[in-house]
Amino acid sequence: MAQTSEPNKDTCTGNCAGCPSTTKCEDPRNVSAPKGLPPKADISVKHVVLVLSGKGGVGKSTVSANLAYSLANRGYSTGLIDLDIHGPDIPKMLGVEDARLQSYDGKVIEPVRVTGNLAIVSMAFLLPERNTPVIWRGPMKMTVIKQFLEDVNWGDLDYLVVDLPPGTGDEALTIAQLAPNIAGAVIVTTPQEVAILDSSKAVEFVKKLELPVLGIVENMSGFVCPHCGEEIDIFGKGGGEKEAGELGVPFLGAIPLDPEMRKAADEGRPFIIRRAGGEDPTWKSIDAIMEALVKQIEE
């Protein structure tokens, strides 16, 4: 078995070049070892909002898209980063899946404009075909996250919403280290216990990073039959609110399971703009969540 060399302060000469212990040696003469966290990205933004989930399939991207669109509709200059690098769905949901990122001066990237107040970037804009897989390890993902922050011409943003992949891996940790002015994280879950179990891990992840948990959103909470009007709890109901109480974090609200939400995403038109100002219970629940979230950030 190969032996590893540990730093020996008694025999160390201070010549770090080629030393197998360079990366773990704490001797102040060692200038080659990494020191501390990377610097924050140079981007002008007042509030960064992370959207996480403990598992996939809970509607995290749907919440991210409607949140960003809602903020933009309120007059805020809003950016949206789709960091689900292996499964980027935001462009499809916002109706810009055929767009491509443009750059000038060989470095600065122009985001895709959805409205005058809403701009987005996504790996989907860089893929040659819609079904092209992204087969990357961690370092490649970290590089593109840094580029999406620093090399994009965001301008001055009020809000930057970051749609993260499920779990608490490379993407979530990297954006938490690089993004400035993080207002906090929104955790999206569905009511059933298996989803609650995973989303609680996301809450604890955010707490360990010493970031605020802005609140929990319970998606797919109950279903009202469009034919008979009876409410059916397909995935259960109230699990997200109960979890928020147990974990001591805000509960932002519940969104019903609504076929129109699915239709809106497939058509590339966020649900929040389909029935704006209407009496639809799903629309009102999303609008109430947006209001609660903005209030959380301002407080």
CB 78 within 8 A of CB 188: no
Would residue 27 count as lying in a domain? no
Domain presence at residue 6: no
In whole angstroms, what is the distance from residue 248 CA to residue 200 CA?
11
At CA 196, angle to CA 193 and CA 201, rounded to 5? Answer: 135
- Which pLDDT band holds residue 5 (cuts at 50, 70, 90)? very low
Residue 54 has pLDDT above 60, yes or no: yes
Q: What percent of the chain has pLDDT over 70?
A: 86
Q: Is residue 40 part of a domain?
A: no
Residue 127 confidence (pLDDT): 94
pLDDT at 167 over 80: yes
Band of the pLDDT at 10, cuts 50, 70, 90?
A: low
**Looking at the domain assignment, is residue 233 inside a domain?**
yes
| CB crowding 120-152: b at 16 or more within 10 Å, else e | bbbbbbeeeeeeeebeeeeeebbebbeebbbbb
Q: How many separate domains does the chain show?
A: 1
In a domain, 19, yes or no: no
Query: Per the annotation, where are the binding residues for ATP?
Result: 54-61
Q: What is the CATH number of the domain that holds 117?
A: 3.40.50.300
Task: Report the predicted TM-score, pTM, of the whole model to 2 decimal places.
Answer: 0.84
Binding-site sequence positions: 54-61
CA dist., res. 62 & res. 40, Å (int) = 28
Residue scoring higher pLDDT (211 or 104): 211
Half-sphere exposure in the Cβ direction for 67 (13 Å, CA): 31
Does residue 279 belong to any structural domain of this protein?
yes
**Domain ranges, residue 238:** 45-298
